[in-house]
Amino acid sequence: MKIATYNINGIKARLPRLKEWLVETRPTVACLQEIKSQDEGFPASEFEEIGYSAIWHGQKSFNGVAILTDNEACPDGPQEIQRGLGIAGPGDSTEEQARYLEADVNGVRIVCIYLPNGNPLPGPKFDYKIAWMEKLRGRMGQIWAEEVPCAVVGDYNVIPEDDDVWATKAMASDALMQPESRAAYGRLLADGWTDAVRSLNPRGGLWTYWDYQRGAWQRDHGFRIDHLLLSPELADRLDSVGVDREHRGREKASDHAPVCCHLAD
């Protein structure tokens, strides 16, 4: 079973690249973030054409998550369990942002997340990020208690360690590597979840995001914020991980690269 996470930065703008990536790499499950599409605009038929079923949780302009499954490997498709964590957005809005989607796929619980960025800080957006992370931790605790094999994957918007960024100085004041952000991420690992990429690359130096600006891609100025967290049963089955770096360098690419892990059957 191959599980992938990919922040696509707009499903309309990315559709040709996204389909190309699915056809070339055929993940069993693909979790997408930042679809930036309303529910009625989601191009489900485009994915059906290449043998993928999908569920999605969108909103206008921003955020939005989706889970795609390979029809051949997953004849039942993704079976939705829950959407949203029940946490209001920052400021006066009581409306929840589309950042969480949970489904069962072939007996494995798949959680697709788009964690709030948190900039600028300090402020309501950073507070929202930290609150969202605690809400996520609560839900992960519930799933843990169910003892169902589970992968919580997505754009965490957290640079976990100093060797997960090309230059710590460049990002020091960013919400992505504040002590509070790292501590909240660290609590998930302390709870027993395994960071799949880190576990097989303990020396760091692997990036999943490169800014569109300042020639960051050409200079390899990136960092690691897209993560795959595995419950113990899945961590025991972990064979390999990978970042599809090459797809970041293509024409009209997302600023994130796909990240995937392979689990033994």
Q: 209 with 197: CB under 8 angstroms?
A: no
Binds DNA by CB under 7 A, chosen from 60, 147, 167, 249: 60
245 contributes a contact to DNA by CB under 7 A: no
Residue 223 near DNA by CB under 7 A: yes
Q: Should residue 11 be labelled a site residue for DNA when binding is judged by CB under 7 A?
A: yes
Q: Is 219 in the site for DNA (CB under 7 A)?
A: no
Rounded distance between C-alpha atoms, residue 178 and residue 173, angstroms: 7
The answer to whether 61 contacts DNA (rule: CB under 7 A) is yes
155 beta partners: 114, 226
Q: Does 178 bind DNA (CB under 7 A)?
A: no
| Site residue total, DNA (CB under 7 A) | 32
34 binds DNA (CB under 7 A): yes
125 binds DNA (CB under 7 A): yes
| Cβ-based nearer residue to DNA, 109 or 256 | 256
State in angstroms the smallest separation of the CB of 20 from DNA: 14
27 binds DNA (CB under 7 A): no
SS3 string, 159-182, reads CCCHHHECCHHHHCCCHHHCHHHH
In Å, how far from its chain's centre is CA 116? Answer: 11
Region of 49-57, 78-86, 112-120, 141-149 interacting with DNA (CB under 7 A):
112-120
Inter-residue long-range contacts of 231-234, CB under 8 Å, 24+ positions, other chains counted: 231/143, 231/144, 231/148, 231/149, 231/150, 231/151, 231/192, 231/193, 231/194, 232/192, 232/194, 233/149, 234/108, 234/149, 234/150, 234/151, 234/194, 234/263
**Residues at the interface with DNA (CB under 7 A):** 7, 9-14, 34, 36-38, 60-62, 116-117, 119-120, 125, 155, 157, 174, 176, 209, 211-214, 223, 225, 252, 255
